[in-house]
Structure 1
């Protein structure tokens, strides 16, 4: 485990962090905490925060707070309903018009599918869109700008290291069968697809460092989303789960600092803030750039046997299926 004291000691060395960052889901939760940690370094940075239009008033107040913390930081709000892939394309178009490079793409949208299935207007179940399709489309759309940065990083926060070969349902990618849909199946399925798709991206884009990260327990509020008020799950969350997370989970500040470490440290890929500790190993069991599966302790968990089997059995199917969906929005 990388201790919190080590992480803070590393982060205090940041003088020139990611100059241009895009936070998809930065209006709350881990994206919000990480954006705050980045701006608090005092570095001259430009940060895009993307979220639903209904979050704008709250986010404007957050932006004012960030500007007070660091007047050198430029914070740009873009409203977008990114559960719709057409909106992802529109938002990426705005960023492409404004920027010539991106140093950091940070993806945290989504919540567990604990309620009834809900398809978007585009016909894809909403939690799967947020946890997988939307995130991967942001990466694909913004790759040209990532290639222009010196040390570009892409971080998808979901379930890195928790992949299972039996967890990905290749004959029902969108989990249409009722027996395949649910909080456990849905999370494992989307998490595994994140790793499979990003693993291929990492091999094809060796200049970019990719992360699929598992945050552990952090009280982001997402545990309260997606179910009917006064349902059994709502009562369970209120009576037990929120208190357990509060007791054993990371604080907002520590979560933000741990992700700032992943955004900047040379512990992953060899470039970044100087690091004298253990060097992370990617999914190819190498220390150079690639895809890093990082757990809540900031340790790399290559999950080598499972990832190798997924590369053989699932990668082409996941890639082709996803690209078939994306071609409507490119």
Structure 2
């Protein structure tokens, strides 16, 4: 485990020279994304952050942005409205950002929530949580990769379940559309495995970019209840049992933000970024090189050496081909 003191010491080295000068946070209106934005702004560095969120969050985020400006007047936080469960909206948001920037240093992806409710599709025919936790995220990466390649130490962080992959991904029904095939456990494990496979493919094709698939552990963001229908049995179960349990074992908000800022900036992962004298991280191929890092809530690399080779052998090609087929109209 990387101690909190070590993380604080590393984050204290973030300044105008070492900070990600341009960052995009998709899903930064609550939870870990919002906490990480606050931690980044609090470094005092000169940064520009694109905060992407739904129209319904705009007024709340205006107040949050004012608070951030009072913490650090050098930080510019640009509210960017978009309903990114829709892939056409994700493309539009990316086009807006690409029209304004020539480089991006950090792409931080947290949009989504636990798929505890009934299967529901977007207007584009994709299950909502899968669109948020997988397809939209990969579309952000593919659109913004040219700008990431222009940065000195570019990084992509996808917060979901790195290191928790299961090898038995459903390759015959990747979108879980068959009757009775969608359920909370199967959906979440499916989306985690698809994230890791696609990110590993992207990391191998773009060695100049560091990729992190993060498992945040127990963090009380409220997302465990978001996918449940109001007043349903699942919603009440989450409120009475799951959320108190999460609160008991989770990091506090400040530490969670600091740990994800560390994952977003430290040279512990791939050797690029804020200087790190500790033990270097090991990527998903068990190498101390750049690539995809599966990082847990302790900021340890967890390569999942049992499941990842099987997924790599049996699933990666099919997952990537299917992903390309879904995303092609929006590229």
Give your verdict on TM over 0.5. yes
Deviation at 1:155?
0.3
What does residue 47 of structure 1 align with? 49
Secondary structure of the 1:180 match is coil
Deviation at 1:227?
1.4
Deviation at 1:183?
1.0
Matches of 1:308 and 1:90, distance apart in 2:
36
Secondary structure of the 2:50 match is strand
* Aligned pair partner of 1:18 in 10, 15, 20: 20
Matches of 1:62 and 1:320, distance apart in 2:
40
What does residue 7 of structure 1 align with? 7
* Aligned pair partner of 1:123 in 122, 125, 128: 125
What does residue 150 of structure 2 align with? 148
Matches of 1:240 and 1:58, distance apart in 2:
28
Indicate yes or no: 2:244 matched with 1:243: yes
Root-mean-square deviation (Å)? 0.9
Secondary structure of the 1:155 match is strand
Q: Is the 8 A contact 2:27 2:110 kept in 1?
A: yes
What does residue 110 of structure 1 align with? 112
Indicate yes or no: 2:210 matched with 1:209: yes
Deviation at 1:234?
1.5
Matches of 2:119 and 2:263, distance apart in 1:
33
Matches of 2:77 and 2:113, distance apart in 1:
25
Deviation at 1:14?
1.1
Secondary structure of the 1:181 match is coil
Matches of 1:224 and 1:62, distance apart in 2:
23
What does residue 285 of structure 1 align with? 286
* Equivalent pairs, count: 329
**1:1-330 pair list within 5 angstroms:** 1-16=1-16, 17-166=19-168, 168-330=169-331
Q: Which runs of 5+ in 2 are unaligned?
A: none
Secondary structure of the 1:211 match is strand
Deviation at 1:58?
0.5
Deviation at 1:179?
3.1
Deviation at 1:251?
0.8
TM-score of the two chains, using structure 2 as the length reference: 0.98
Secondary structure of the 2:213 match is strand
Q: Which runs of 5+ in 1 are unaligned?
A: none
Deviation at 1:180?
2.3
Matches of 2:306 and 2:235, distance apart in 1:
37
TM-score of the two chains, using structure 1 as the length reference: 0.98
